[in-house]
Amino acid sequence: MLSYNRLRNFDFALLFIVLIIFAIGLTFLYSATYHHAYKYSGSLPQSFLLRQIVWFMLALLIGVVVLKVEYQKWLELAYPLYAINFILLLFVLVSGATRLGAQRWITFGGIAFQPSEFSKLVIILTLARYLGQKENVSAKDLIASFLIIGLPFLLIVKQPDLGTALILVPILFGVLYGWGARLRTLILIFLGFGLTTPFLWQLLKDYQKRRILVFINPNMDPLGAGYTVIQSKIAIGSGGLLGKGWLAGTQNQLNFLPERHTDFIFSVVGEEWGFLGATLLLALYFALIWRAFSCIQQTLNSSGRLLVYGIIALLSFQVVINIAMTMGLLPVVGLPLPLISYGGSSLVSTMVAVALVLNVGMRR
């Protein structure tokens, strides 16, 4: 049982914010799959909703497990987990199921899941563990952390899962920053990263290259890769201040918006709840981040703090990249909106991340 002291330190506000965001997510998942969803996908909106709730229950359960074990224990497990994850990523490349031109899934007992979703967390744990032991910033450790992240990064790019690979970059920088690396050094490294882009370009699949080119000019291919972004911008923009009302977004309900229940669910929020709804959601996400920051301030354990730094970077940049993408500010990379987009792997990994933050906060 959790002791009274631990329970007192438990951040109920954080959990509350998570639940509110998830509830909003369910509301819009219903809208995104409502009425016409049946006509186009053959499934009832209830079935999407039900599956999402079942996944959330499962995610809560896993979260409780993550909470019950001290986070220090998890940190100790970081290296073996890293090894297992590495093997899983290799396994995906060799025999993973291909969907939408990418090998991301492995099927495990009838459930398909994406190891790359968990790579994010495992990498954060590994970095926190490794860097948490080092008192002073050194070039050797910097290079070591690059290696820690670099190997899975390449495997994930190769799958290819550009969104997840991309999110590893802010994670690395977030953790390094929290560790104490100088901002100037990090900026220089970031620019150095930029130089590797031509090399990375070669690794990309044709459809990804097209997406990036279309990002630069969506009208290049208004029916193909550019279609989603154009329709998404129309959806968000046409929402106006107050939105068209729940279940009344024409872009959404009349099927003009593809992938609206997964990566592009923010467009539905923007269309049906307007500017107020969109900023409300952004505020809730920022509140979530803000709660995580206060956890850092109260924690003395450096590994624990680095863990939270990594998770902050993960969650905030996932939100920023996803939303920026729906407004055409970043290329479409295939990154879900945490707690809102439909999909089990993402829900579970987000809840584990939240549980880890709560865990650190509880055992400061």
* Of the residues 59, 312, 333, 348, which one makes contact with another protein according to CB under 8 A: 312
**Cβ closest to another protein, residue 94 vs residue 183:** 183
Q: Cβ of residue 253: shortest distance to another protein, in angstroms?
A: 8
Structure tokens at 300: 């003395």
- Give me the sheet containing 111-113, strands edge to edge: 97-99, 102-108, 111-113
**Cβ closest to another protein, residue 152 vs residue 328:** 328
How far is it, in rounded angstroms, from Cα 211 to Cα 342? 22
Q: Which long-range contacts (CB under 8 A, 24 or more apart) does 210-215 make?
A: 211/331, 211/332, 211/333, 212/331, 214/331, 214/332, 215/328, 215/330, 215/331, 215/332
Residues 6+ apart with CB under 8 A from 169: 193
14 contributes a contact to another protein by CB under 8 A: no
Kindly provide the b/e burial profile for residues 197-215, where b requires at least 16 CB atoms within 10 angstroms of the residue's own CB: eeeeeeeeeeebebbbebb
111 contributes a contact to another protein by CB under 8 A: no
Residues 112-171 that bind another protein (CB under 8 A): none
291 contributes a contact to another protein by CB under 8 A: no
240 contributes a contact to another protein by CB under 8 A: yes
Instruction: Tell me the H-state helices in 159-205.
Output: 162-179, 183-195, 197-203
245 contributes a contact to another protein by CB under 8 A: no
Residues 20-79 that bind another protein (CB under 8 A): 36, 39-40, 42
* Of the residues 157, 236, 314, 356, which one makes contact with another protein according to CB under 8 A: 236
Q: Are 332 and 228 in contact (CB under 8 A)?
A: yes
Structure tokens at 170: 């802010």
297 contributes a contact to another protein by CB under 8 A: yes
Site size with another protein, rule: CB under 8 A? 50
Q: Cβ of residue 40: shortest distance to another protein, in angstroms?
A: 7
- What residue type is 44 in one-letter code? L
Give the phi and the psi of residue 233 in degrees, each rounded to 5. Answer: -65, -40
**Cβ closest to another protein, residue 73 vs residue 182:** 182
Q: Cβ of residue 221: shortest distance to another protein, in angstroms?
A: 11
Write each residue from 324 to 343 as x if it is in contact with another protein (CB under 8 A), else as -, in one continuous string.
x--x-x--------------
213 contributes a contact to another protein by CB under 8 A: no
How far is it, in rounded angstroms, from Cα 53 to Cα 149? 32
Q: Cβ of residue 138: shortest distance to another protein, in angstroms?
A: 18
Which range in 8-16, 112-120, 231-239, 335-343 contacts another protein by CB under 8 A? 231-239
Give the phi and the psi of residue 111 in degrees, each rounded to 5. Answer: -110, 125
180 contributes a contact to another protein by CB under 8 A: yes
Q: Are 274 and 266 in contact (CB under 8 A)?
A: no
Return residues touching another protein (CB under 8 A): 36, 39-40, 42, 174, 177-178, 180, 183, 222-224, 227, 231, 233-241, 250-251, 254-256, 270-271, 274-275, 278-279, 282, 285-286, 289-290, 293, 296-297, 309, 312, 316, 320, 323-324, 327, 329
